[in-house]
Amino acid sequence: MKENQTQVTKGIAVIGLGFIGLPLALSFAMRGARVRGIDVLPELIEEINHGVSHHLEQYNGMTIRDILKEQLQTGQFRATTSYQEASQEVDTYIVTVGIPVANGAGNYSYIDSACSSIAKVLKKGDTVIIRSTVIPGTTEERIAPLLQEVSGLVPGEDFYLAYASERIAEGKAFEEFENMPLAMGGINEQSAQRVKEILTIVTRAEVTISNIKTVETAKVIENIQRDVNIAMVQEFAKFAQSFGIDTGELIKVANTHKRVNLLVPGPGVGGYCLPNAFYYLEPKATELGVSLNLLKRARDINDGVPNHIVTRVEKELGTLVGKKVAVLGLAMKDYSNDDRISPPIDIVKVLQERGAQVLAYDPAVVTEYSFKHSNLKDCIEQADAMLLLAMQEEFRHLNWAEVIQQMKPNAVVFDAKNVIAKDQISNHVTLLKI
């Protein structure tokens, strides 16, 4: 599916080779663009240049590892830590470096560093595209002045600058980079048109051009509306539990209404996007004197779900002190290896704080934890409780009746994924659902 894109761009540097940046870089490479991926982690660069990726992405029957190896072999893609090296081969820079949130405050240091490094090698006629989720106003109020100060070049006159929102769901990155409608804005009309031409090397869907501040804000509220929807169904789930009705059935029935689209409750809201979204909007709202009480309440509800789940398990066991608790799934969502801001990790911490001995198993998550074990049997055997918190492919094929038989009599099973049927457990086991 390669196409010759030499007339569109000399080459593209993608800054940040994580869950978004690497699939994006390979998406351009597959379509004939010369791509250089840049990251600050030498060990990550070495892995990638040896064809190793732990991401669980696929496209047209190929895994991301297959795609990576193919593009390395053709020379269309290579990774480096050197902006200077990459600048010799590219005229376009796409930034996917995030703004982490700690204690409700965004940390600009990573994106500032990336943009400063770009500015040091920026040439007249180059293009800079920001695809990170940012606090509204960041591109024009922070990044543009930084690029100009360090490079001595004027955005919109000497180089093109634009913001394009990233709307990708992990696990579907290649498909959605191609087919998800794109929203973007340029610092001027020339920048917008130039960047649209570059991004449509990959994107085949509709492109909406607006002003940068609107697109930045739209990206944030797209995530927040899902955060609020999930908080709402978490409240509905609490009602259903107390009322003695099945939460899944309740949502299924409500969603038969053509104008209702309730999401599914789970063990919390994780990942890099949704939990951070409110904290990207809040600083600008505070600056403008705008109250976001509903959005803040939704964030607090979702943050409180891990504690609520542990309390339910603790109530059934009487105490968690000294109890062996098996946790299945540590990823922030199903069929992912991403454990950033992961509710299952938060649940483990609460369990430990209340005295439980936690043994966790997730065949996809590569991060090492003191409580993480390499096989399911060690976790389940003679456990007082089991919490299924995130699905992985291996879990789909388990015989849950056989798994639960290895646990202690009168054990507690918490099924956050609604995959364990009542007829798969004995009468002596307590089954809890979301």
Distance (Å) of CA 376 to CA 75, 90, 324, 406, 416: 41, 47, 14, 11, 18
- What contacts 418, CB < 8 A, 6 or more positions away? 248, 433, 434
Smallest CA-to-CA distance from 354 within 403, 307, 424 is with 307
- What contacts 323, CB < 8 A, 6 or more positions away? 317, 355, 356, 357, 384, 385
**Residue 164 pairs with which residues in a beta bridge?**
184
pLDDT, tens only, 192-236: 999 999 999 999 999 999 999 999 999 999 999 999 999 999 999
**For the packed helices 212-243 and 274-288, what is the interaxial angle rounded to 10 degrees?**
120
3-state helix, strand and coil shares in percent for the chain, rounded to the nearest 5:
45, 15, 40
Average pLDDT over residues 174-196: 97
Cα–Cα distance measured from residue 276 to residue 143, given in angstroms and rounded to the nearest whole number: 20
CATH (residue range 12-209)? 3.40.50.720
- What contacts 373, CB < 8 A, 6 or more positions away? 359, 360, 361, 379
**Is 115 a catalytic site residue?**
no
Catalytic choice (120, 123, 219, 433) = 219
pLDDT, tens only, 398-427: 999 999 999 999 999 999 999 998 888 877
Catalytic choice (69, 258, 273, 379) = 273
Strand pairing category for 105-106 and 101-102? antiparallel
Least confident window among 130-134, 166-170, 285-289, 350-354: 166-170
pLDDT, tens only, 72-87: 999 999 999 999 999 9
Distance (Å) of CA 219 to CA 195, 202, 281: 18, 20, 10
pLDDT, tens only, 131-178: 999 999 999 999 999 999 999 999 999 999 999 999 999 899 999 999
Average pLDDT over residues 389-393: 96
pLDDT at 428 over 70: yes
pLDDT, tens only, 6-48: 478 999 999 999 999 999 999 999 999 999 999 999 999 999 9
pLDDT above 90: percentage of residues in the chain? 94
Cα–Cα distance measured from residue 24 to residue 37, given in angstroms and rounded to the nearest whole number: 10
Cα–Cα distance measured from residue 262 to residue 226, given in angstroms and rounded to the nearest whole number: 10
Question: How many other C-beta atoms are found inside a 10 Å radius of the C-beta of residue 313?
Answer: 25
Q: What is the pLDDT of residue 417?
A: 94
Mean pLDDT of the chain: 95
255-274: string of b/e by CB count within 10 Å (b at 16+)? eeeeeeebbbbbbbbbbbbb
Fold of 219-302: N-(1-d-carboxylethyl)-l-norvaline Dehydrogenase; domain 2 (1.10.1040)
Average pLDDT over residues 378-386: 97
Distance (Å) of CA 404 to CA 326, 379, 394, 416: 11, 11, 16, 15
Q: Is 359 helix (H, G, I), strand (E, B) or coil?
A: strand
Question: How many other C-beta atoms are found inside a 10 Å radius of the C-beta of residue 150?
Answer: 15
**Residue 360 pairs with which residues in a beta bridge?**
327, 372
Average pLDDT over residues 380-394: 97
Q: Left if phi > 0, otherwise alpha if psi is -120 to 50, otherwise beta: which for 61?
A: left
Tokens at residue 271, please? 């990942």
Cα–Cα distance measured from residue 168 to residue 177, given in angstroms and rounded to the nearest whole number: 7
pTM beyond 0.85, yes or no: yes
Tokens at residue 399, please? 């015989």
User: Amino acid letter at 275?
Assistant: P
Residues of the chain with CATH 3.40.50.720: 12-209, 304-433
Cα–Cα distance measured from residue 353 to residue 42, given in angstroms and rounded to the nearest whole number: 36
Q: What is the pLDDT of residue 348?
A: 98
**Is 273 a catalytic site residue?**
yes
Cα–Cα distance measured from residue 425 to residue 91, given in angstroms and rounded to the nearest whole number: 61
pLDDT at 54 over 80: yes
- CA torsion through residues 214, 216, 221, 223, sign: positive
Fold of 304-433: Rossmann fold (3.40.50)
Q: What is the pLDDT of residue 84?
A: 98
134, 165 Cβ separation under 8 angstroms: no
What is the band of 4 on the pLDDT scale with cuts at 50, 70, 90?
very low
Q: Is 125 helix (H, G, I), strand (E, B) or coil?
A: coil
Tokens at residue 14, please? 């993608």
Q: What is the pLDDT of residue 306?
A: 97
**Residue 431 pairs with which residues in a beta bridge?**
413
Q: What is the pLDDT of residue 273?
A: 87
pLDDT above 70: percentage of residues in the chain? 99
Secondary element (H or E) of residue 151:
helix 144-151
pLDDT at 1 over 60: no
Residues of the chain with CATH 1.10.1040.10: 219-302
pLDDT, tens only, 262-283: 999 999 999 888 999 999 999 9
